[in-house]
Amino acid sequence: MIPRIALTPGEPAGIGPDITLAAAGQAWNAEIVAVCDPELLRTRARQLNLAVDLVEFEPNAAPQPHQPGTLKVRPIALAASCTAGSLNPANAQYVIDTLHCAVDGCMDKTFSAMVTAPVQKSIINDAGIAFSGHTELLAERTGTARVVMMLACDELRVALATTHLPLRDVPDAITGELLSETLHIVHSDLQSKFGIAAPRIAVLGLNPHAGEGGHLGHEEIDVIIPALEQLKRQGLQLLGPLPADTAFNRKALANCDAVFAMYHDQGLPTLKYAGFGNAVNITLGLPVIRTSVDHGTALDLAGAGKAAPDSLFTALRTALDMSTNDLRTSA
């Protein structure tokens, strides 16, 4: 069972093509298919003095393990020429088209998973295309009502109840319905896509000291604890709510498979301290497997041979492991 993984290089002027070419130089027990303009890769390979044999993707052929120095490509043409480090809004729709192609291919089972390199949200919006991020586009394209962002590194997995919200809006967003839906998604995907039979999830409180019995806020008493008790009765193994300032210690983490944080900057600073550059962004709750790098387009590094591909390698390994688990479950 060889997974076939779609890789979207993201913003063509950024480091996405560079790290895609770096991935092509490695051995993978999966078929890697770059969804992009092959001429973009050829131009960037010459700029980086890299040798890579680009082969047009044949969807009807059986998947084969990736061979270093080669790369299969599902061609999608750029709208305009591309210079490394120089954004061009004319290519914004091209970026969207590569994402649509990859996710549609996952939906029809052409691909087992998709891995995304970084995009430049600002230039897509400058082109007049409403775009708030990969996650929202993939949720809309697949008709998914609720998704969960989870970042992971070797030592830690952190899932988020809320993502890109101003802090003043977070307490109102934390409802029993939200906690029930998102924790069920985390529990289910840890089982099906990570092979963890009985996931243990540490849930952080919203307030300092998890509210300190109501002295530092009532969200734990009024919303979080009742929701967790109901979920425990449904069979979920949940710890908490825990004070966020003491939850991230090795002894506590040894007894859980993931940490569930209430908001973005409550959980991710620790995760990124532990694994920045080697972490992976995973979208849970989708009907497809999607992983991504944990960094941006780094326009100043594009074409300079200085882009570190470690996060992309981690994203590919994670997608490979998740899709292998998925294939075994489906067999």
| Model pLDDT for residues 47-97, shown as the tens digit of each residue | 999 999 999 999 999 999 999 999 999 999 999 999 999 999 999 999 999
Q: For the domain bounded by 4-144+286-330, which CATH number is listed?
A: 3.40.718.10
Whether 218 has a binding-site annotation, put simply, is no
pLDDT tens-digit series, residues 110-125: 999 999 999 999 999 9
Domain 148-273 fold is: Isopropylmalate Dehydrogenase (3.40.718)
Domain with CATH 3.40.718.10 in the chain: 4-144+286-330, 148-273
Structure tokens at 266: 């409550």
295 is an annotated ligand-binding site residue: no
* pLDDT digit string, tens, across residues 240-274: 999 999 999 988 898 899 999 999 999 999 999 99
pTM for the structure as a whole: 0.90
Token pair of 59 as six digits: 């969807």
Cβ neighbours of residue 54 under 8 Å, at least 6 residues apart? 38, 41, 42, 70, 71, 72, 73
164 annotated to bind ligand: yes
> Which sign, positive or negative, has the C-alpha torsion 30, 34, 39, 42?
negative
- Is 207 annotated among the ligand-binding residues? no
Q: Is 215 annotated as a binding residue?
A: no
Q: Is 134 annotated as a binding residue?
A: yes
Reported as a pLDDT band with limits 50, 70 and 90, residue 132 is confident
